Amino acid sequence: MESSRPQLSRQRPVWMWAGAAAGLGLALTMFLNNSRSRPHPATPHTATRTFVVSGTVVLGDATSFISDVHGGCTGTGAHADVTDGAMVLITTTGGLAAGRLTDPQALTDGTCQFRFSVPGVPSGQDAYLVMVAEQDLLQYAEQELTGTSVHLRVD
């Protein structure tokens, strides 16, 4: 018996990946150029301390995801890139750290939730740019990303 649901293609056209890479490159260039405008005192090189950012990513608009028969979910439309295994990138002037979305669940409150964990995030930075899948960059302070589980809403 065939399903009446449309099949989602996991492949993206090359131009989408090129556009996403160009957009990320532009955002990183702007971020790094802005951070270089402030003078930094000369200090001896020391090992950078890092921390882990863990939490959930939520799609809360019922039109931004579909559920499957196993209780999972995946993004649709403008959020089609928010899927199991999609990248979570955290960028600072001190470096880049990456993790992946895992464990997609369609919850009874009408939302779609993914878990994520990003190890190796440099501490002591002025700002942290977070990109989930190919969605817009969001800026956070370190205090917002440490301590408790981080809750990111991307719709």
- Report pLDDT digits (tens) over 44-101: 555 579 999 999 999 998 889 999 999 999 999 999 999 999 999 999 998 899 999 9
126 compared with 2, residue with greater pLDDT: 126
pTM for the whole structure: 0.69
The β-bridge relationship of strands 50-59 and 150-153 is parallel
HEC string of the chain equals CCCCCCCCCCCCCHHHHHHHHHHHHHHHHHHHHHHHCCCCCCCCCCCCCEEEEEEEEEECCHHHEEECCCCCEEECHHHCCCCCCCEEEEEECCEEEEEEEEEEEECCCCCEEEEEEEEEEECCCCCEEEEECCCCCEEECHHHHCCCCEEEECC
Record the tokens describing residue 134, joined without a space: 């190919």
Which amino acid makes up residue 84? Answer: D
Q: How high does pLDDT run on average in the chain?
A: 81
